[in-house]
Amino acid sequence: MSGDTATPVALITGATGGIGSAVARRLHREGMRVVLTSSSSRTQGERLAKTLAPNASYVQGDLTDPADARKLVRAALSQFGRLDLLVNNAAAFAHIPHTDLAAATPEVWRRLLDVNVIGVWCTIEAARVALEDSCGHIVNITSLAGVRPMGASIPYAVSKAALGHMTPLLAKALGPSVRVNAIAPGFVATDRTSGWSEVLASVESSAPLRRAGTPEDIADAVVALHSATYVTGQTLAVDGGLSLL
């Protein structure tokens, strides 16, 4: 265990993707120690942790497995001695036209709900005691698709809506010792969305801020919510104003 037991510690799931890595870097710049996790991309995760060393570590795990979720939390406590912030960013994704009901098979539904809802639940349950000890904070990364009837697929949108509703329920259940909030990104330019030129053009022409979001925009929002210590049970839309349309 690190000899420093005072500096806050954040655990970020899905930390090797565009948003997750931006959140990790930003929290690190804010002075936090960070534990990075992903179910794959181990090499990428270890490389990112190395660039943030010595105040970072990487642990691979499948968050839909309660034993793995507990392993990740134990790793954070073993490495750094505490846990103050859990950012649930890991997510499964499916791009299916909403009218193509046949393509949204039960297997697709189960995979997305397993990762985007049950995996988050497993991680929160595993981290609960450590977060209570630190009067910590949970930030769930949902989606504008979970708030408005839109998104890459109906199963994805429904899974994010479930996570959005889980947020205030947990805020009531875990208060006053743990705060729980969510961020609902709109269209964010990442490797995953790099081929969505038509969607990007629509966002740039119609969103009040006339641009797509960046992973750094979401990282800024995580920091802002974490510092707003009288806020719990809320979902912050970070969407350039798309939800106003």
CATH number at residue 94: 3.40.50.720
Cβ(230)–Cβ(178) under 8 Å?
no
pLDDT at residue 195, as a whole number = 80
Residue 38 tokens read as 């992903």
Assigned domain for 119 exists = yes
The stretches in the chain having pLDDT less than 70 are: 2-3
* Domain annotation covers residue 168: yes
What residue numbers bound the domain in which 207 lies?
9-238
The total number of structural domains that make up the chain? 1
- 198: helix, strand or coil: helix
What is the per-residue pLDDT for 191? 82
Query: What pLDDT shows up at residue 203?
Result: 92
Does 95 map to a domain? yes
Residue 100: per-residue pLDDT: 98
244 domain-assigned:
no
Determine the pLDDT at residue 190: 86
Query: CA angle 113-27-45, nearest 5°?
Result: 60
Q: Is 154 contained in some domain? A: yes
Q: Is residue 77 part of a domain?
A: yes
Does the annotation count 58 as an active-site position? no
Q: Is residue 114 part of a domain?
A: yes
Question: Does residue 234 lie in a domain region?
Answer: yes
- pTM for the full predicted model: 0.95
Which residue in 58, 80, 121, 156 is the catalytic one? 156
Specify the pLDDT at position 196.
82
